[in-house]
Amino acid sequence: MFTELDLTVLPNPWDLQGADVNQNFQGNPAMNPYPQGLPDSVNAVLADKYKALFALFLKHKESVSRVTFWGVSDRNSWLNNWPIRNRTNYPLVFDRNYQPKPAYYSILSLKK
């Protein structure tokens, strides 16, 4: 099983180690490059990453029984405000309005 799946598109602070929620870093514009929304070009990169990951899962489907995302939409992602307060992240396949993103469709495109 693969659980708590999400893929960030934001830069990581240099000293980030794992997902310890007690880590907090000072914010700056370079660490929050998309506060008003994810550009199409970055959405496409995220879609490609999800597609490659799910292609790998399918390649090894005899060993993968389940994939669970860490949340439903970007609106409620645990990565918003962590590890930098007031930072906006876009790690899931549904946007803040629960609409499918290109990443969602890239995963579906693998269905045969």
Domain positions in the chain: 2-7+26-108
pLDDT digits (tens, 9 = 90+) for 37-96: 999 999 999 999 999 999 999 999 999 999 999 999 999 999 998 888 888 999 999 999
Q: Which residue has the tokens 């929620």?
A: 21
Per-residue pLDDT at 16: 61
**Mean pLDDT of the region 1-23:** 78
- In a 10 Å sphere around its CB, with 0-12 CB exposed, 13-18 middle and 19+ buried, how is residue 79 labelled? buried
Per-residue pLDDT at 4: 95
Q: Which of 83, 9, 88 is nearest to 46 (CA)?
A: 9
Beta strands in the chain (DSSP E): 2-5, 67-69
Res. 33: pLDDT tops 90: yes
Res. 106: pLDDT tops 70: yes
Per-residue pLDDT at 98: 97
* pTM score above 0.85: yes
